[in-house]
Structure 1
Amino acid sequence: MFEPGRYPVAYFPETDISSNVLERAEYTTQHPELGLTTWYSVRADEQHFAARAAWQHTGLPAYASELQAHVAFAWRAMDAFYEEDERILGHAADPYHRIDIRQTSRNLVVRHGDKIIADTKRPMVLYESGFAPRWYVPRDDIDETTLTQVSLQTFCPYKGLCSYYSIGDARQAAWFYPNAYPEVGRISNLVSFEPDIVTVHLDGTQLHLEPGQSVVAHGPDRNLDLAEVDRNAKGDVDSGP
């Protein structure tokens, strides 16, 4: 199911869910378009239990009848999701989500306080559905002595594993994808700067994010071996047993 402003959610027929896995919770919510929603805990065995980890819309209007007798599982509550034999990392991908990357000769200047952090006339601009354009800078055009890498890592299912820099007192002011997925490999190891944390000018005009243009960052999935992310980034495919 696709809802504006939300990640896609898979709904499974009740008949395809293992018996005795769902335990009805004494908890309901009201979806603004889909009506009453009943919640379940999920118990795989005595060691694997997740509270309020699945839901079912039990008061559906006629226009949403396709969801009748279907159950969805909370992404963060499950250990992993798969499509065919491949693990889906981060969150389900939206087939309507698009990314385009373009080389440009526009002048991008990044400052923090009175110090120039980056000055380039060869940035890459990444256009991503629903978000502000993001400008990526070659490292040769950055004063890397100003960057302090932090331990935070997040994951994007369209681009891969992301690492961050702080710049002085500006925390997590920049980020980069060490090994971006092949589809967006042109931004690998380039650095992008957050215009709401440091000052970014494009051809003399200061950039600001508009409401709704920020990306909600996701940490790597539970029990995810980060080597698995790297394999995806390099385009490796497991041969299977």
Structure 2
Amino acid sequence: MADLIKLGEKLAKEGPHKKEATPRRVRGLFAGEWIFDTLKAVYVWEHPYYPYFYISHSEFKKDVLKVLPESQEHKDSNTKGFHLARLEAGSQFTSRVLLFNTPSLDNLIRIEHSAITWFSEDEHLLGPHPKDPYKRVETLPSSRTIRIEFDGTVVAESSQNVFLFETMLRPRYYLNPGNVKWELLEESETVSYCPYKGMANYYNLKVNGKETKDAVWYYKYPTAESAPIAGRLCFYNEKVDVFIDGIPEEKYTDARL
């Protein structure tokens, strides 16, 4: 639980990056039970990049939350203002829960997003966090030529693309699958979930005897807002060389940029 304690200490001492109330109906499903159903959820940005939903202790179903005895690591901490808690329903439980009692997060509960099933209104939320209300995803068709190289070998070249622009993130280029050298791709077992785009599957890239894991991803059934990227392939910019109309794309040191 060291990582959870570290997060609790940071937030109790420094407070969140920002927070705000939301009028959305937010519900949590755990072990087949609705453990909360609230109009009083709070967006909490633990850092600048995306928010979490925090739920008031009073909004939970009776007897599903239990405060845990302090661990020695927590007792030795110089920071107070939070408790470790446990969520129980039926025969299932998770201890990835924090209860805060600081002025900035008074009586708010943080549950690891992957520990329960979340709904915003009637939409099942995918991914490791809820959508940021200030983030926008825009998909635009583009005839600019995208060439992908790895180890000096061209692995794809397409002028029938969809460019995806997402607030605070670098552009991603979704290529026509007919313009990719499929013999260089091998299916990966990796699956990931994005709050804005849906469930992604991956391919590994094998060139000149070198393999790069999960270098390519695609969405079979993206969300409605990202529908134009369905079935298209996106090469992980940070793992390959990308040329736009023959000009090499600038290398980024942080995928969020």
Q: TM-score normalised to the size of structure 2?
A: 0.71
> Does the 8 A contact of 1:130 with 1:213 survive in 2?
no
Specify the alignment match of 1:7 in structure 2.
50
> Does the 8 A contact of 2:170 with 2:255 survive in 1?
yes
Unmatched tracts of structure 1, length 5 or more: 216-241
Unmatched tracts of structure 2, length 5 or more: 1-42
In 2, Cα distance between equivalents of 1:131 and 1:151: 25
In 1, Cα distance between equivalents of 2:120 and 2:163: 31
- State the Cα RMSD in Å: 2.3
Specify the alignment match of 2:232 in structure 1.
190
> Does the 8 A contact of 1:162 with 1:177 survive in 2?
yes
Aligned to 1:196, what secondary structure does the other structure show?
A: helix
> Does the 8 A contact of 2:67 with 2:83 survive in 1?
no
Change (3 A) 1:203 1:23: same
Specify the alignment match of 1:88 in structure 2.
125
Aligned to 1:72, what secondary structure does the other structure show?
A: strand
Specify the alignment match of 1:16 in structure 2.
59
Specify the alignment match of 1:107 in structure 2.
145
Change (3 A) 1:86 1:100: closer
- CA apart distance, 1:85: 4.1
Aligned to 1:26, what secondary structure does the other structure show?
A: coil
In 1, Cα distance between equivalents of 2:199 and 2:192: 6
> Does the 8 A contact of 2:101 with 2:108 survive in 1?
no
Identity %: 21
- CA apart distance, 1:25: 3.8
Specify the alignment match of 1:213 in structure 2.
255
Change (3 A) 1:194 1:89: closer
**2:98 is matched with which residue: 43, 55, 64?**
55
In 2, Cα distance between equivalents of 1:203 and 1:148: 27
- CA apart distance, 1:209: 4.5
Aligned to 1:125, what secondary structure does the other structure show?
A: strand
Tell me the matched-pair count.
Answer: 204
Q: TM-score normalised to the size of structure 1?
A: 0.75
Letter in 2 for 1:135: Y
Aligned to 1:132, what secondary structure does the other structure show?
A: coil
Specify the alignment match of 2:85 in structure 1.
40
In 1, Cα distance between equivalents of 2:204 and 2:249: 19
In 1, Cα distance between equivalents of 2:153 and 2:147: 11
Specify the alignment match of 1:26 in structure 2.
70
Specify the alignment match of 2:172 in structure 1.
134
In 2, Cα distance between equivalents of 1:56 and 1:139: 47
> Does the 8 A contact of 1:30 with 1:36 survive in 2?
no
Specify the alignment match of 1:125 in structure 2.
163
In 2, Cα distance between equivalents of 1:40 and 1:6: 26
Matched, 1:98 2:170: no
